[in-house]
Amino acid sequence: MTAGTERSPDEIRAILAQLTELQELDRKIIQVRQQMAALPPRLRAVETRFSQEQRELEKLTGSKSDRSKDQRRLEHESREIEEEIESHKKRLMEVKDNKQYAAVGHEIAVLRQKLDAIETAILKNIEDEEAHERRVAQARQKIERVRAETNEEKRRIEDQIRTRKQALDSLDAKRQHHRQAIPADVLALYDRLFERNPGNVVCQAVGNHCGGCHINLVNQKMLEIRQMKTFVRCEGCLRFFTGLAET
């Protein structure tokens, strides 16, 4: 299997060395791109965590307004009942017989029970509000901590993105320089194989096996690899053989 133009063994070995260097660059580029692809999801995860903490704080602060409304309602009811009790007390002073006196007294007792229940609810609301304020304070402290952690993590991830982008630009420049030194016919074949096996286009024969797909190599193929009179490729995976691995 040849790449077209006839070349001497030394020329072929030199080209294979260039292909090996190109493959190493391509592998590094693949690795950096994979690393870069993993960074945006990490950034989104950091931002999502902060957003969740913000929503939790908003829920806590939002529930305060509901509790305040309930407290105002109870206080209003308390004042109304107190006014009713005072009104009933005045009536109590005006009644003429024991039956009416007992009836008004009973109404006052019922109203006082209601008032006690409302005052108990008001006190509970005050206690709940104090506990709520403590939770809000803790939540505010937490969100400030998460904000600082988020900003620090975002800076770290953005620095990694920037560093990898610079590394990728440098590798791409080196890759283009290497490609220019490789004959066009060989490069075209390399590119086709690269589409099939990214970063795995050239390999050595290991023992009497392909270093890529590990199929057994016949003696004739091993001889061709040793002599390197032409480009020798694996009949299984089509990789270029660069020589024999030292054992």
Per-residue pLDDT of the chain (247 residues; tens, 9 = 90+): 445 578 999 999 999 999 999 999 999 999 999 999 999 999 999 999 999 989 988 888 876 666 778 888 888 989 998 998 889 888 888 888 888 888 888 898 998 999 999 999 989 888 888 888 898 899 999 999 999 999 999 999 999 999 999 999 999 999 999 999 999 999 999 999 999 999 999 999 999 999 999 999 999 999 999 999 999 999 999 999 999 988 6
Sequence letter at residue 189? L
Tokens of residue 95, six digits: 């009644």
Distance separating alpha carbons of residues 115 and 213, to the nearest angstrom: 88
Q: Measuring CA to CA, which residue among 167, 215, 189, 214 is closest to residue 36?
A: 167
What are the structural domains, with CATH classification, of the chain? 32-174 (1.10.287.1490)
